[in-house]
A and B are shown apart, each in its own frame.
Chain A
């Protein structure tokens, strides 16, 4: 049987202790063990950004991180972004600007955008392009995404 180790971490504000299989990705752990299925797999090899989550506030491709690396860290997934039924500003702006179509890239996009805004509350177009260049959207919602991020600036 695959080796497991115990990890302690915070997920969406809640402290957790779980067993993680050594060698499993964080993406797999989040979807299959934490049952948070908002995070998506689009390539599995770090090329599309569909699997982005926030680790200690920074966006990471969870398909490239091992589950055991979660130990001692703080994880935010798309499910943790809205608080008490209130959408995050970025989420609302994505709705207002129709910044998604199929919605498959959207959790990753929104989290990448949130991390950018936390770091740079008033990003320029160039900042947005840089921060989101690893998030692919085949539906081509880029113009709307830029608009949504601009509209969520300043906080």
Chain B
């Protein structure tokens, strides 16, 4: 590959100055026009029939313009399984589900009016544990499951609460267990977590009398919002405009379409007005996607030499009240169910089960944190049972070039061994340090892998406009929520166009003007959008050469472009500036040659396939990104407090388009992982979310975040732009199991769930003492 100029350099973020000066525009910072403020009336029970809603007093409240209930607005929406309405229609399925929405001239009036709405419920038996919900006699949460529209790669079981049963069968599981010297079985549990981006969900809509709907949204995916609204409301796509701003953190909770459609009927009643809703912190925690809880059972067959011969993995996911998006997490975890390991015989059953808890949905890692918690804890159990080095067990079974995933997909372009080794070396693996009085030290390691969980037809596209002075505008549909997309994509454009990056303008999307992008999810944008941008740049460059050849009367193959001018390599005096190319009239005659240069690039994966419905075999992965986490902890046996002494994180980025931003992402993901490992657990009591603010739901702050040593490996991704692959979610995946493995190493206690709070650790130490072990 020719030497790279921009890709691989740590240029400052494109959004840097705006973000440090407070001028970066988030949705709530825009003045949009005359405004009505919306507030939701939420259900006070988890599962009930709605017998009556009386909004008469709310409607009379001064300043109130409209009250909308589900009866007036039964339209359905959903990404993969259309199982949701914007407002509860005949029944509520979780505590806090919106049953009505009020629009008023002030926020106060709207909030006061909400209190005046009276809702009569008839409570129904509820399901709060998916292991109960999966039973044949469980109360049914979605009676009409059979009628819901669904993408045909999911397998709901109408008449039950199973929204998807993903099956995977690889090799011969019985033979695999026969070949084993030892069978190891464990149960694991991962609780719900919340994303808590510091910016909550927000949306505004406006209806124009000519039938155009404009939507401003914090959504990660404007094009998906447009597509889902178009289907749900039966409005053609060109009549829906979705505008993005900077997004104050996404982490999956702003994927798909959530609150954008809620206010449309009110907007239609008040054309020209902007109807806006801003979720409070509490609403954001309780009313948007949570990470689905997972109850899992693993059974592994292993030979004396440490080789795993068989894996049986059962996953029961708490899909919550609606699983329009969650069904795909369950699928992704299923087809990835061997984690970073090559296991010849696999039987996996992954169930998405409706419950009356908050809605499950995508979170950074998309099922991988939950599923690989089990895998990485199980690897540790295997090493302990066999008295082998956990690092060696991982390397022995770890994926290598040409290995196959659980789905039977062959993996390429990886160096998993090295991902493990760098973090092991950093924490001086194998050298056990002794702690001070009453403190125990231990080291732990965990590997990780993730591919984007996207449909095989998830597409990207890009347009590049070359200006008359040789500067350029890159137009794409990806969103900027902190991941650094604007910067990385400009660097790819700059590299491909041979134009300096400061001559490239790039903005967040507006579906009326920017080309299609599926979603900014799954750590896919650098790869997918990056590829379409590279193609658009090559297209633009091709046009520049073509016009220049005509203009300069020189064969194209003799021409070169140095970022300023196009010249003949044979005779540098034969040259034209970009401006001359853009104007493109023959000098001597004034005859026109071509108009302005506009490059276009489209991308859709060509290496993915559907999966066999019975065996789950096929190619679900666009690319696979590997990494590892290594930690050293000290545990205070008196208090149960875990201190993280060393935290090392590696990721194979293929090519770090911007090493500094790549490292920042690596740190950010590792910290989120650490935060979930030690603190985060959403608690429910009969479906009521108990911890709905930052005091009760603690996340990592600066004073409890240790130093992180990061390692970016670069095993090029053959088909990725300049060898790059996405890394945004991955660093989170290995942290919780690495910490639990280290605590296990320190205390000789196996933890099969997290967070490892002081209470939980202290209790386990006490239980161990009492049992005399």
Contact = CB atoms under 8 A, between A and B. Distances in A.
A77 interface: yes
Interface in B689-712: 693-695, 699-703, 705, 707-708
Interface in B181-196: 195-196
Report, as a range, how many residues of chain A touch the other chain: 35 or more
A40 to B, nearest CB: 7
Contact of B671 (A38, A94, A134, A142): A142
B676 to A, nearest CB: 12
Contacts of A58: none
B698 to A, nearest CB: 10
B22 A145 contact: no
B292 interface: no
Contacts of A36: 22
Contacts of B19: 100, 103, 106
Contact of B248 (A47, A92, A102): A102
Contacts of A139: 249, 482, 668
A43 B22 contact: no
Interface in A111-155: 128-130, 132-146
Nearest to B731: A140
Contacts of B249: 101-102, 104, 138-139
Nearest to B20: A91
Interface string B633-660: 0000000000000000000000000001
Interface in A25-45: 36-40, 42-45
Contacts of B195: 138
Given A40-B199, A140-B668, A143-B707, A78 B702 contact: no
A56 interface: no
Nearest to A112: B702
Interface in B23-82: 23-26, 28-29
A110 interface: yes
Nearest to A42: B198
Nearest to B248: A104
B705 A142 contact: yes
Interface core residue of A47, A87, A110 (most chain B CB under 10 Å)? A47
Contacts of B24: 103
Contacts of B702: 128-129, 132-133, 135, 137, 142, 145-146
A50 interface: yes
Contacts of A91: 20-21
A95 B693 contact: no
Given A78-B21, A98-B661, A132-B702, A138 B16 contact: no
A39 B21 CA distance: 10
Interface residues of B, number: 57
Contacts of B664: 98, 101, 141, 144
A79 interface: yes
B16 A95 contact: yes
Nearest to A79: B22
Contacts of B250: 102
B21 A42 contact: no
B708 A47 contact: no
A82 interface: yes
B199 A141 contact: no
B13 interface: yes
A104 B199 contact: yes
A75 interface: no
Given A40-B198, A94-B20, A143 B708 contact: yes
A92 B19 CA distance: 11
A96 interface: yes
A96 B12 contact: yes
Interface string A68-98: 0000000001110110000100011011101
Contacts of A11: none
B12 A95 contact: yes
A140 B481 CA distance: 13
B198 A50 contact: yes
Contacts of A106: 19-20
A105 interface: yes
A101 B198 contact: no
Interface string B262-297: 000000000000000000110000000000000000
A59 interface: no
B447 interface: no
A37 to B, nearest CB: 4
Contacts of A39: 22
A95 B13 contact: yes
Given A91-B20, A102-B481, A103-B246, A138 B196 contact: yes
A36 B249 CA distance: 21
B669 interface: yes
Given A38-B22, A42-B281, A95-B12, A138 B197 contact: yes
B199 A38 contact: no
A54 interface: no
A135 B705 CA distance: 13
Given A140-B669, A143-B708, A48 B660 contact: no
B199 A102 contact: yes
Contacts of B22: 36-39, 77-79, 107
Nearest to B705: A142
B247 interface: yes
A133 B698 CA distance: 12
Given A38-B22, A44-B281, A106-B20, A136 B483 contact: no
B85 to A, nearest CB: 28
A129 B703 contact: yes
A144 B667 contact: yes
A101 B708 contact: no
Contacts of B20: 78, 87, 91-92, 94-95, 100, 103, 106, 110
Contact of A47 (B13, B251, B663, B695): B695
B482 A47 contact: no
A122 B200 CA distance: 35
A145 B707 CA distance: 12
Nearest to A94: B20
Nearest to B29: A37
Contacts of B28: 37
Interface core residue of A103, A130, A133, A136 (most chain B CB under 10 Å)? A103
B505 to A, nearest CB: 19
B254 to A, nearest CB: 11
Contact of B482 (A48, A102, A107): A102
Given A44-B281, A137-B198, A103 B248 contact: yes
Nearest to B195: A138
Given A40-B26, A91-B21, A102 B12 contact: no
Contacts of B246: 102-103
B251 A138 contact: yes
Contact of A101 (B21, B23, B26, B483): B483
Contact of B699 (A87, A92, A103, A136): A136
B484 interface: yes
B17 interface: yes
A79 B20 CA distance: 9
B372 interface: no
Nearest to B728: A101
A43 B694 contact: yes
A37 B26 CA distance: 9
Nearest to A82: B21
A43 B281 contact: yes
Interface string B439-470: 00000000000000000000000000000000
A144 B667 CA distance: 9
Interface of A: 36-40, 42-45, 47-48, 50, 77-79, 81-82, 87, 91-92, 94-96, 98, 100-107, 110, 128-130, 132-146
17 contacts: A43-B281, A47-B694, A48-B281, A77-B22, A78-B20, A81-B21, A87-B20, A100-B482, A103-B24, A104-B482, A105-B198, A106-B19, A137-B702, A139-B249, A139-B668, A140-B668, A140-B669
Given A138-B196, A142-B667, 5 more contacts: A47-B695, A139-B482, A142-B671, A142-B701, A143-B667
- 4 closest Cβ pairs, A-B complex: A38-B22, A104-B248, A102-B482, A101-B482
